[in-house]
Chain A
Amino acid sequence: MMRFMLLFSRQGKLRLQKWYLAMSDKERKKMVRELMQVVLARKPKMCSFLEWRDLKVVYKRYASLYFCCAIEGQDNELITLELIHRYVELLDKYFGSVCELDIIFNFEKAYFILDEFLMGGDVQDTSKKSVLKAIEQADLLQEDGKERNVQ
């Protein structure tokens, strides 16, 4: 299972964090700091996997953003790499060529999409259509709510 997923910028700003195992805030912060340092220090063209503590880390950079997942010893690195890619595709489809600012200002959407895709550290649905359909439905409900609000 995936232990956590982090999105952070080249400047070391954390943009999104999702933890699939309960942990204290202090421990989380420490891990984020440590892992960001390790990943940011790596050169392009290096391998996307590394051993870190007792975990395997799979990361990939898209433009200015690093997507970084920590998985367990038995887990499959390549499929995790594609998991990241699928998530980026989902964001891209939803926002229409996504950029870092989309994720900053619409963080809740980024979370909702991630939740539809992954749950408790495992893939819930890999179909792009299913995930986006769920999000669109939620957006429709949101529009309803807004209208009512205006009235």
Chain B
Amino acid sequence: MCVADTARDVSGNAHCKSKEAEIKRINKELANIRSKFKGDKALDGYSKKKYVCKLLFIFLLGHDIDFGHMEAVNLLSSNRYTEKQIGYLFISVLVNSNSELIRLINNAIKNDLASRNPTFMGLALHCIANVGSREMAEAFAGEIPKILVAGDTMDSVKQSAALCLLRLYRTSPDLVPMGDWTSRVVHLLNDQHLGVVTAATSLITTLAQKNPEEFKTSVSLAVSRLSRIVTSASTDLQDYTYYFVPAPWLSVKLLRLLQCYPPPDPAVRGRLTECLETILNKAQEPPKSKKVQHSNAKNAVLFEAISLIIHHDSEPNLLVRACNQLGQFLQHRETNLRYLALESMCTLASSEFSHEAVKTHIETVINALKTERDVSVRQRAVDLLYAMCDRSNAQQIVAEMLNYLETADYSIREEIVLKVAILAEKYAVDYTWYVDTILNLIRIAGDYVSEEVWYRVIQIVINRDDVQGYAAKTVFEALQAPACHENLVKVGGYILGEFGNLIAGDPRSSPLIQFNLLHSKFHLCSVPTRALLLSTYIKFVNLFPEIKTTIQDVLRSDSQLKNADVELQQRAVEYLRLSTIASTDILATVLEEMPPFPERESSILAKLKKKKGPSTVTDLEETKKERSADMNGGTEPAPVNASAVSTPSPSADLLGLGTGPPPNAAPAPASSGSLLVDVFSEPASAVTQLAPGSQENFASPDLASSELVSEEPSEAARGADELTHKFVCKNNGVLFENQLLQIGLKSEFRQNLGRMFIFYGNKTSTQFLTFTPTLICSDELQSNLNLQTKPVDPTVDGGAQVQQVVNIECISDFTEAPVLNIQFRYGGTFQNVSVKLPITLNKFFQPTEMASQDFFQRWKQLSNPQQEVQNIFKAKHPMDPEITKAKIIGFGSALLEEVDPNPANFVGAGIIHTRTAQIGCLLRLEPNLQAQMYRLTLRTSKETVSQRLCELLSEQF
């Protein structure tokens, strides 16, 4: 065989003594091949094949190949199968999708596809699937569906065609036209040849994810196919039975396809439930073979079935059975099964039907944490404990996690720390437990406790006055340890500086003892911690006038006043002056206790999300939010303006003492709104309060700002609906604002088209880098709303504003709003902001004027119950008729005067324009001043439109 010869020719490489010898030999061979290719004598096909094959071999040994592509392309047009085959192999291994040769390759492929020779067609299809470039999609995306559904295509070619099309669809979905062929592809699920069904199912699954409507019929076909497979005897399917399991690959694929859809109609659903039950039953039967392949294949189907059950989340009975099955696997001797069971249970834990059932396995999971030898399995156990945690078991789970932390692998410590901190906060009934837990965390794994964690404990202590005394006492005790982690010194310093007075009555923790204790740690700490401690000392001057002189002595010492570090020196100088010249009143004002922090999403949670990818964490959070809502009440957000007044930065030159704000002061938020005011009338939102680190300049600006901004998306998300409502009746305004960025909007709409200008303003003096706004639409929304935009310049200079235009086309009516996600780098930290873009259905309204008679005639025509939607609701704003009129007009419909017999009522009419349809809409708003209520009635020719418009308009009054 030529290749084997080649291989030996080129090398014995595998056996070459030294790396140098191998390289030398290969270079010689490459030179030889090059000269052959360049030589005057034309090579015959056989030699060409031989040398191309050698090149391929050399490449696979790990060397770079930069020639021979042309010769390989030549081989494609050979009539000899072997030459063609090697040519195609070279191209699929070595040609990248952007090669200039693609056009030549495409020509050869075109010939082979037209050859009607199934072997050649197969090679050509494989090549397309392997390279899968856009040019190839352009050339063949129209052709392949025809081959796929043609009656005379051989089965093997059909299989290749299906997967080839799938590959092209993945690279360039826009180039694969949906059409008549789709329904015929769906019917391939009924094909006799299981290989064809397998390949087709992969294709349909991916297509159905993007075009669920088009492939809806696949659901019932998939269910019946699945049902035939699971009920078949193990020998029925001949070669498609794998170790006594009938068609496991196909079963998994069918179950996966069904996960693209919600639970089917009752008739199909019954049959599907039967299938799922059969699969669960089979898991209990004794194995038909002892081979691991048998159990793996069987369980592969089982796990996929469980995924489908969880996806449907509608059959409590199946969910609980699934949970019990997974519970058995938790103790299985196969590590793989234990791993998967832990993973799968994590998703089960978030279903309300099975959450309780999952909780019963807590002991097993804890045991896994202690005994599993494989860190990836332990990691899964930690995830599951986190997922199954609720108020009832939080204490136990947190204790076990802390326990595990002492010996945990370094690679997962940080994540465990975050999880413990989140759970402790979320399920704290009693905040003393919370404080103990966090201090334990710092003691056990201080190095892995990130800023977010200790900022958070301080926020909580400051916001809850019932725990302040306890916190002061506990940190004081913890600080007694001869060696304590620097993070503890930070927390201790901050808390004693605020609340040291609460324990000062005890002679064992008198002011002087507190001070000496902290100061004994001072010299071992890093600069930021020392800076923090200096602030604590000045706070002590206010709290404990009796030790003022001691503190002044310390501040006055050379090691402080002449410290090489500018920040420390400046603090020492300023604090010393402040303590000397300010009256007690001024001191008391400047050094007043910190005001409560505004409540927002925990920055730790944000960090975990960043670490683990948002989806996993949010899912858990959302489903659990309701359950935990009752426990997290009690903390009230602080009035924002109060904090702005009463928190002067201690080192700012308030008293005319200092040398200006310290270099690491956080960017001043005061400038907010100044950027876009000329465009918009709305005043900018109020000053946001800073996080603890930046408020006292305790942390460097990077850390502070990264923490601040990591919270923004959630904040924005919370306000998102409110924002959308704000823009329903108007087109311009400020969409989003934080300390770094302001986003403004201006938009105009005509019929079913619109254009939106988005203005991004950089409020800082530093450049934003890799600034990338992206518009995200769900699949459903994408099919109803067409958005087009160009990327913006990735650099936004400080103080500058960039503009992005979005062209909008409404294809058909829709309810969701697209999400605008913005990512950029600011001063070394990564920022991520998401806001809903207020493109709502009513923007595509055209007002229609009509007389009273016409109005009521049409009103009557739209009298089907589905066409009318009514909402009765309480007024949220003063019931001023003039404002109401303005809002109805802003909403987009015409306001019809003298139509309604009752002059207090408002009626409107208009047409919603979409590409596919025009929908006439009539609306009537009846205020009831006495009850402060409204009744809003919408009648349109389309149910979903009535529904959506009613929702949107109801929020306006």
Contacts and interface: CB of A to CB of B under 8 A. Distances in A.
A82 B300 contact: yes
B303 A141 contact: no
A113 interface: no
Contact of B198 (A25, A51, A125): A125
Of A16, A83, A125, most buried by chain B (CB within 10 Å of CB) is A125
B371 to A, nearest CB: 14
Given A82-B293, A106-B1, A119 B160 contact: yes
Interface string B228-261: 0000000000111010000111101100100000
B75 to A, nearest CB: 12
Interface stretch (B89-97, B419-427, B627-635): B89-97
Contact of A74 (B14, B256, B296): B256
Nearest to B239: A127
Of B125, B131, B156, most buried by chain A (CB within 10 Å of CB) is B156
A62 interface: no
B239 A128 contact: yes
A115 to B, nearest CB: 5
A134 B122 CA distance: 10
A115 B126 CA distance: 7
A74 B297 CA distance: 17
A81 B336 contact: yes
Contact of A82 (B57, B238, B296, B374): B296
B8 interface: yes
A99 to B, nearest CB: 12
Contacts of B384: none
A14 B62 contact: yes
A124 B239 contact: no
A22 B171 contact: yes
A76 interface: yes
Contacts of A106: 1, 3-4
Interface string B291-314: 001001101110110000000000
Interface stretch (B162-170, B271-279, B596-604, B911-919): B162-170
A129 B85 contact: no
B160 A49 contact: no
A119 B129 contact: yes
A145 B373 contact: no
A126 interface: yes
A127 B199 contact: no
A22 B133 contact: yes
Given A46-B374, A49-B376, A105-B8, A120 B240 contact: no
A144 B81 contact: yes
Contacts of A104: 7, 14
B446 interface: no
B60 interface: yes
Interface in B31-84: 46, 53, 56-57, 60, 62, 64, 80-83
A127 B336 CA distance: 25
A108 B166 CA distance: 25
A35 interface: no
B195 interface: yes
B118 to A, nearest CB: 9
Contact of A124 (B159, B247, B303): B159
A130 to B, nearest CB: 6
A74 B81 CA distance: 38
Contacts of B296: 78-79, 81-82, 85
B198 A126 contact: yes
Contacts of B194: 126-127
Interface size class of B (residues with CB under 8 A): 35 or more
B714 interface: no
A141 B86 CA distance: 13
Interface in B81-136: 81-83, 85-86, 89, 92-93, 96-97, 119, 122, 125-126, 129-133
B772 interface: no
A149 B78 CA distance: 13
Nearest to A142: B82
A65 interface: no
A45 interface: yes
A112 to B, nearest CB: 7
Contacts of B60: 14-17, 107
A120 B82 contact: no
B300 A120 contact: no
A24 interface: yes
Of A105, A106, A144, most buried by chain B (CB within 10 Å of CB) is A105
B300 A78 contact: yes
Of A51, A54, A119, most buried by chain B (CB within 10 Å of CB) is A119
A35 B126 CA distance: 27
A126 B754 CA distance: 51
A129 B195 CA distance: 11
A125 B166 CA distance: 15
B164 A119 contact: yes
A78 B299 contact: yes
Of A74, A115, A129, most buried by chain B (CB within 10 Å of CB) is A115
A145 B81 contact: yes
Contacts of A50: 376
B202 interface: yes
A127 B252 contact: no
B335 interface: yes
Contact of B3 (A45, A81, A86, A107): A107
A127 to B, nearest CB: 4
Contacts of B46: 149
Given A111-B89, A137-B119, A124 B336 contact: no
B377 A47 contact: yes
A148 interface: yes
Nearest to A118: B163
B339 interface: yes
A138 to B, nearest CB: 7
Contacts of A78: 296-297, 299-300, 303, 336, 340
Interface string B1-17: 10110011000001000
A119 B158 CA distance: 12
Contacts of A46: 335, 373-374, 376
B247 to A, nearest CB: 7
A30 interface: no
A33 to B, nearest CB: 11
B2 to A, nearest CB: 8
Contacts of A86: 242
Contacts of B250: 126
A34 interface: no
Contact of A130 (B4, B85, B130, B156): B156
B373 A130 contact: no
B3 A105 contact: yes
A141 B199 contact: no
A122 interface: yes
5 interchain residue pairs of minimum CB distance = A120-B167, A78-B300, A79-B300, A125-B195, A141-B81
29 contacts: A15-B60, A16-B60, A22-B131, A24-B96, A46-B376, A48-B336, A49-B336, A76-B303, A77-B336, A78-B303, A78-B340, A79-B252, A79-B297, A79-B304, A83-B249, A101-B14, A104-B14, A106-B3, A108-B89, A111-B93, A119-B160, A119-B199, A122-B199, A125-B195, A141-B81, A145-B80, A145-B83, A146-B82, A149-B46
Interface of A: 1, 13-17, 20, 22, 24-25, 45-51, 54, 74, 76-79, 81-83, 85-86, 101, 104-109, 111-112, 115, 119-130, 134, 137-138, 141-142, 144-146, 148-149
Interface of B: 1, 3-4, 7-8, 14, 46, 53, 56-57, 60, 62, 64, 80-83, 85-86, 89, 92-93, 96-97, 119, 122, 125-126, 129-133, 156, 159-160, 163-164, 166-167, 170-171, 194-195, 198-199, 202, 238-240, 242, 247-250, 252-253, 256, 293, 296-297, 299-301, 303-304, 335-336, 338-340, 373-374, 376-377, 379, 613
Given A123-B249, A142-B81, 15 more contacts: A22-B97, A47-B376, A49-B340, A50-B376, A76-B256, A78-B299, A82-B300, A104-B14, A105-B8, A109-B3, A112-B89, A122-B163, A126-B250, A144-B81, A145-B80
